[in-house]
Structure 1
């Protein structure tokens, strides 16, 4: 899946956290909310 690769790259951004909730993968970045994403 293309989205998974982008989530993996977003993990490298400063301040980001990868969380799995209800079968979905989220990237939450409080320092820069522009990078918030959801997959699944």
Structure 2
């Protein structure tokens, strides 16, 4: 199972735990958001 999926399905993922799994330069693109969210 993918580490991010495993963490989310655990039911108690903290933002710090999710952040540790993501790339430094991640970019989320969503039609729901009105602005672009970028990683650190």
TM-score by length of 2: 0.30
> Which structure: greater strand fraction?
1
TM-score by length of 1: 0.30
> Which structure: greater helix fraction?
2
